[in-house]
Amino acid sequence: MDNYTFIDLDGVILNSEEIMLERKYNFGLCNHKDKNEFYNYFEFTNNHPEEWDYIIREAKSINYSVEIIKELENLKKKIAILTKIHTLYEMKVKVEDLRQNRKIQCPIFFVPPGIKKYEIIIPNNQLLIDDSEKNINGWISHGGRGIIFDSTIPINTNKKVKSLDFLLKE
């Protein structure tokens, strides 16, 4: 891969994380700072894979990210999705949803538990847009360029953007 822009999925393209946390909460797993709760919840989703169908199907495009990505594809921009997964079923649902439901065509790279994004893609001065500051810091410290996505900020800065539309102007 050479000079691509990598875009995170959960929390940048779709609000899937919000929906996942809502579901987790409804199961009585209310402390989102407790790692064990996430372990228990993902164990539960292994036995009830339809949980991921619900989360991904119900997720909404954040600040027109899905629409902007399709426009970037029309403009032949070199973009790819770089997303963390917790289970193989989650990976399957994400591919089906992005291809069949959202009609996104760009490459999708999956990052399994225990692996960092910069290990799947060698950053090599390429750009990552991610809502996790931790992911961005890891990416930059391994030679990449990074921008934090935060849909709630009033205006874009050099380090943070609220929408992917700045990529249309590049």
Contacts of 65 (CB under 8 A, 6+ apart): 7, 12, 13, 14, 163, 164
Pick the closer one to Mg ion by CB: 75 or 119: 119
Pick the closer one to Mg ion by CB: 11 or 123: 11
Q: Shortest Cβ distance from residue 95 to Mg ion (Å)?
A: 17
| Binding stretches for Mg ion (CB under 5 A) | 8, 10-11, 131
Q: Shortest Cβ distance from residue 84 to Mg ion (Å)?
A: 7
Pick the closer one to Mg ion by CB: 72 or 136: 136
Pick the closer one to Mg ion by CB: 8 or 90: 8
Q: Shortest Cβ distance from residue 132 to Mg ion (Å)?
A: 5
- Residue pair 61/69 in contact (Cβ under 8 Å)? The answer is no
Q: Shortest Cβ distance from residue 76 to Mg ion (Å)?
A: 26
Contacts of 71 (CB under 8 A, 6+ apart): 168
Pick the closer one to Mg ion by CB: 28 or 113: 113
Main-chain dihedrals φ then ψ at residue 44, nearest 5 degrees: -60, -45
Residues in the chain, how many?
170
Instruction: Tell me how far apart the 2 most distant CA atoms of the chain are, in Å.
Output: 45
Nearest-CB residue to Mg ion?
11
- Residue pair 61/13 in contact (Cβ under 8 Å)? The answer is yes
Counting DSSP H helices and E strands in the chain, the numbers are 7, 6
Q: Shortest Cβ distance from residue 130 to Mg ion (Å)?
A: 6
Query: Cα 9 from chain centroid?
Result: 2
